[in-house]
Structure 1
């Protein structure tokens, strides 16, 4: 019995051993095969090359400057390898004397660790011209790795800086938002570069290589090319953009030249700044100088500048007036230069008043009193509804990131914002684009296009994404009655620029007939006890009103909107009239307008 038991135990042990051997040699073969594969086959991602941005005539606006990144092998910071590390760094600095030795050492030690087996970036960019004479020497050194690394470059520097935006080093939040950015290292930070970042950065490629025990490449097994070089063509004409920048020297504000279909030929926020200073990182000195400027060069005033629209909204509000049963197209009033209301007196800008005023004269001569009294007849609810429908106080959906909305004041807005009741004096203030009324230049530009054509366009910079054409988009916001009355407003806008008494007639003289509206947006309030206003040019600069002039032309065949906002410029016509006239003449010269 004992022999049988011992024999049973013996057989059982051998069976267990055989099962285990079978499992290890046969069933686990695929598992260990995968481990072996991972030990010898390395998968690398290939960073895509960012697409270029060109203008409507295929002139490069944002390109990739050819250059290289330098890497050092890991673990050279260990005590036993320090002599190798010092030798490699000394060689680099000797061959490329512009390199910062201390920065190289600091960056390397920061990234080096026992757990990192990949080469470490120590120099982000060296130009092609610099590295070519020493490339062969460096490439023979086994601890140094040189890889292609293009750098974003903006050949026109500060021109259209706020519209184009810039690419800069990615931060932690950028990487969390999109993993591909970790591989690329750079991302669009502002403007078009940010809005179209996903499109232009492309998709990563993939490469499988065989490596030895020292992590050295033995053989390339397969490669999947990156999706890259995605070209973005804009509607912008960079020559027109440069010309406008020259007109706005030593001024702050914004200029927009836009087709009535929404295609933006030029859009500038002033002051501008050199985009190239941000690609590799701006110095503290330069940042400090720009950031403390009262002219706010970092603010994209096209979509982030919030200004009282002043009298520019009188065209749209006038259309609401004459289309409403409360007022109608034949209503007129007598302007005495002031309108008492409760404890306040609301004054017209013209000291002696405008006399008898109807809608066309009210717009042509920008009579405040006409709009004051009309607002009391119509009421804030219909005013704010109509102006919002016309595109104010809401996003234009232009292809720029983080567009601001602005404010069209209303009862509901004030209740939500301040939890306070609405007062009738606020209705009167709203009627001339003051009080809490705030708009962006981009909103006023498309509002002007609506007055020109009856359709509200969506502004857009992009003309083509690769070979895909960006089609214009419109909103039909005018009802049948408003469309019928619109020619009255258009005629009044024509008279602003061409008829005696027009607020812009003495300041605009382009070679094409245009229509428009001036606006003066107060920066500081005027005390009730002041009867004789101080001249704008006698005021402190930063207390002067902002000057608007928004136009369209040619009048008989509207094609383009030209808007200029001059911060602290005073009167819209005098501050912006010559700028706008010169832009129309340039459009004629460049062939955009044909006589």
Structure 2
């Protein structure tokens, strides 16, 4: 009986072993085959090359310079590999003496670990010309890998800097938002580069490679090319942009040249900076010096600069008046001031403008006329009308983080400060002061609305790949408002072309234009001051901002030119000559056709 039991036990054990061997050799073959493949076959993502940006005439304004990055094999810091590491570092120093060896060692130590089996990037970029003479020597070293690494370059440096924007190394927040950025390493940080980043960066490719036990590539099994070269064509004319940049030399502010459909031919914020500084990185000292400047060179003043509009708002506000009980021929007597309670609200012209109607009020920028009109119309209708014209809202330009400004009202003040509104604030609003804040681009959009009767959406893109940018303009005016536009246009024409017009002595263009000047105070004037100081008598940062917004040609509007000079004083004197030269350049370049 015992013998039978022992035989049965051995038979059972042998049967179990045979079944197990069968399962391992046959049934689990596919599983272990797949596991083996996963250990020897790698799927590697291929970073796409960022698309180029060109201007309206196909001149490159953001390109990629060809270069290379250097990667080192992992685990060279292990005791058994230490000599290999020292030899590799010594070889790099000898072959490429321009490299910072301390930074290379630091970068390697930061990424190397027992669990990392990938090559470690130690040099972000080396120019093509520098590496090509020694490329073969580097490529023969097993512990060194040389890979293509394009670098963003802006050939026009500071021209249109705030509009184009720049790319720089991605941070954790960027990577969390888009995992592809982790592969690329760089992302658009500002301007067009940021707004169209997902398009410009393309989509990655992938290759399937076979590696040996040392993680060295032995064969390429498949290759899928990345989708790249996503070309973006802008409406900007870089030649005109350079010309206007020279006109603004030494000035602080913003300028925009936009056609009446919203296409921006030139847009600039001053002072500007060389975009290439951000690609390679700059010292903390340089950054802090620029960031602490009172002229704010890093701020895109076109969409992020908030300023009192001053009298540049009077055409839009005049249109509100004309549909809310004020007739174009209604006259107001301007003696130079208007009393309200214990305060006196003064006109810019000490002795007043005498009898004034709407056209004269715009032509000579009479404050008293607009004070009186605001008391009749009221802040509720004023703010409602201006908001409908799109002030207090984004213009819709294809740039990131556009500011909306402030169109003050009772409700706004209650929400913002939990305070009630007073009539004096209505008067301040009527001349673009007080809480009222706009961006230069908003004033340009308002000017286009007056010139054409439609509200265009400003844009910088012209062609996204092979697809044209779809222009948008809206009909925001009522039939009554459209019928009264000629009155406002007449006033703006006389600003630039009639005796006593606030810009008539400063405009000297081959094109007949219409416009509105504005002088926006940055500091209040105390009631007990009887005699105002002239703008040039004030210290620089206490001078008013100067506005001049225009359209032309007057009869057949084609372009809007809006200029704002910080602390420039009077709009006509500060910007009249600049705007005149811009229109002449538009004529010279063939953008404006004389009729």
Q: Sort the TM-score into its range (normalised by shorter chain).
A: over 0.9
* Partner Cα distance (1:90, 1:55) in 2: 46
Corresponding residue of 1:450 = 449
Q: Is the 8 A contact 1:40 1:211 kept in 2?
A: yes
Paired residues for 1:255-266 under 5 Å: 255-266=255-266
Corresponding residue of 1:101 = 101
Structure 2 residue matching 1:463: 3-state secondary structure: strand
Corresponding residue of 1:140 = 140
Structure 1 residue matching 2:301: 3-state secondary structure: coil
| Residue 252, structure 1, aligned to residue 228, structure 2 | no
Corresponding residue of 1:336 = 335
* Partner Cα distance (1:542, 1:94) in 2: 55
Q: Is the 8 A contact 1:546 1:570 kept in 2?
A: yes
Note the alpha carbon deviations across 1:427-459, whole angstroms, 9 max, x for none: 111111100000001111111100100000110
Paired residues for 1:9-28 under 5 Å: 12-28=12-28
Paired residues for 1:407-422 under 5 Å: 407-422=406-421
| Residue 301, structure 1, aligned to residue 297, structure 2 | no
* Partner Cα distance (2:330, 2:582) in 1: 37
Paired residues for 1:177-576 under 5 Å: 177-324=177-324, 326-576=325-575
Q: Is the 8 A contact 1:233 1:463 kept in 2?
A: yes
User: What TM-score does the superposition give when structure 1 sets the normalisation length?
Assistant: 0.98
Segment of structure 1 superposing worse, 450-459 or 22-31 = 22-31
Q: Is the 8 A contact 1:321 1:329 kept in 2?
A: no
> By how many angstroms is 1:14 displaced?
4.7
Note the alpha carbon deviations across 1:370-425, whole angstroms, 9 max, x for none: 11111111111110111111121110110111111110001111111111111111
Structure 2 residue matching 1:203: 3-state secondary structure: coil
> By how many angstroms is 1:108 displaced?
1.2
Corresponding residue of 1:154 = 154
* Partner Cα distance (2:95, 2:150) in 1: 21
Q: Is the 8 A contact 1:205 1:226 kept in 2?
A: yes
Paired residues for 1:4-153 under 5 Å: 12-153=12-153
In structure 1, stretches of 5+ residues that fail to align are: none
Equivalent residues, number: 594
> By how many angstroms is 1:17 displaced?
3.8
Note the alpha carbon deviations across 1:10-53, whole angstroms, 9 max, x for none: 55545544443343333322221211111111110000000000
* Partner Cα distance (2:253, 2:552) in 1: 22
Q: Is the 8 A contact 2:545 2:570 kept in 1?
A: yes
Note the alpha carbon deviations across 1:149-202, whole angstroms, 9 max, x for none: 000000000111101000100011111110000000000000000000000000
> By how many angstroms is 1:569 displaced?
0.2
> By how many angstroms is 1:115 displaced?
1.1
> By how many angstroms is 1:288 displaced?
1.9
* Partner Cα distance (1:27, 1:380) in 2: 84
RMSD: 1.3
Structure 2 residue matching 1:508: 3-state secondary structure: coil
Q: Is the 8 A contact 1:365 1:503 kept in 2?
A: yes
Q: Is the 8 A contact 1:77 1:85 kept in 2?
A: yes
Q: Is the 8 A contact 1:52 1:232 kept in 2?
A: yes
Q: Is the 8 A contact 1:551 1:561 kept in 2?
A: yes
* Partner Cα distance (1:4, 1:420) in 2: 104
Q: Is the 8 A contact 2:387 2:393 kept in 1?
A: yes
> By how many angstroms is 1:79 displaced?
2.7
Q: Is the 8 A contact 1:72 1:121 kept in 2?
A: yes
* Partner Cα distance (1:66, 1:25) in 2: 52
* Partner Cα distance (1:581, 1:64) in 2: 37
User: What TM-score does the superposition give when structure 2 sets the normalisation length?
Assistant: 0.98
> By how many angstroms is 1:331 displaced?
2.1
> By how many angstroms is 1:91 displaced?
1.6
* Partner Cα distance (1:28, 1:391) in 2: 69
Structure 2 residue matching 1:558: 3-state secondary structure: coil
* Partner Cα distance (1:53, 1:365) in 2: 44
Decide whether aligned partners of structure 1 residues 340 and 139 sit closer, same or farther in structure 2, where only a CA change above 3 A counts. same
* Partner Cα distance (2:392, 2:15) in 1: 83
Structure 2 residue matching 1:302: 3-state secondary structure: helix
Q: Is the 8 A contact 2:162 2:300 kept in 1?
A: yes
* Partner Cα distance (2:292, 2:182) in 1: 32
* Partner Cα distance (1:33, 1:582) in 2: 75
Structure 2 residue matching 1:303: 3-state secondary structure: helix
> By how many angstroms is 1:98 displaced?
1.3
> By how many angstroms is 1:4 displaced?
6.7
Q: Is the 8 A contact 2:328 2:359 kept in 1?
A: no
